[in-house]
Amino acid sequence: MVTTRDVLEIEIFSALLDAIDRGEYPAGGRLVETEIALRYGVSRTPVRLALKRLETIGGAVRDARNTLIVAALDYDQLGELYDLMEVLEGTAARLAARRASPAEIDVLYEIVDRDADLIQNNVDESLIIDSDKRFHRQLHKASHNRYLLGMLNQMHPALAPLARVSLTAPKRSPQSVCEHSDLLDQIKARDEDAAEHAARKHIRNSYIRRLRTRSHALAENAETLAAELVPTCAHR
């Protein structure tokens, strides 16, 4: 029997995923039970259960002080995740080329056209990020494979912070829209091989952008640290 507490747990869990998606809880950010309960106007019990569920699926981890934080991917984990994303997104595109209805393809084109307008009008980046996610969710649905959808949904907590980084990099959004359009052209042509190739290329480009962003951040941190160093002796 489903109880009110069960419903609240699911609602808080979904709300936390959405908040992580929007960057309100960044990777490494603390997840404080009392603060979350206050934010959503509920008792601590459903929050505790929702956080436990988030931790179980890998969306949250404990730091050295046993504080629950939003999970951050290390270098190897990032590569492993993108390897799997490339396979799953490629498979979704292949199946969409085989099974998507004309109406589903039209909806995908509408999203791409809207994205192009958003970029041209220089709207808030959060709208572009949300629209990009809608495109991929619609593509997944167009594959008409419930097991594939289940696997992609399970990856949601790990994927949440990634789109925000890759899409906010300079010139990434226009490139992403172009890649989406090319992918759709292959799906509309019912070319399964070309659709899978386009989807894999899209994910690979996102991974490359992510690596570049991380490298730049590391370089900036190194420069900051170097500037803060106090010389212990003068060069002779």
Give 222-234 pLDDT, tens digit per residue.
454 344 444 433 4
Amino acid sitting at position 78: L
Distance CA 33, CA 68 (A): 9
Look-up of token digits 């490298």: 215
Lowest mean pLDDT among 16-25, 27-36, 135-144, 217-226: 217-226
Q: Does domain 4-70 have CATH number 3.40.50.1820?
A: no
Enumerate residues 6+ apart whose C-beta is below 8 A from 230.
none
Q: Which among 70-79, 96-105, 127-136, 216-225 has the top mean pLDDT?
A: 96-105
Q: Is 143 helix (H, G, I), strand (E, B) or coil?
A: coil
Q: Is 68 helix (H, G, I), strand (E, B) or coil?
A: strand
Q: Which residues of 159-172 are buried (b: 16+ CB within 10 A; e: fewer)?
A: bbbbbbbbbbbeeb
pLDDT over 60 at 171, yes or no: no
One of 1.10.3720.10, 3.30.300.30, 1.20.120.530, 1.10.10.10 is the CATH number of 75-224, namely: 1.20.120.530
Lowest mean pLDDT among 118-122, 160-164, 171-175: 160-164
Cβ-based burial of 183 (10 A; exposed 0-12, middle 13-18, buried ≥19)? buried
Query: 4-70 and 75-224: same fold?
Result: no
pLDDT over 70 at 18, yes or no: yes
Lowest mean pLDDT among 23-37, 158-172, 188-202: 158-172
Q: How confident is the model at residue 121 (pLDDT cuts 50, 70, 90)?
A: confident
Every domain of the chain and the residues it spans? 4-70, 75-224
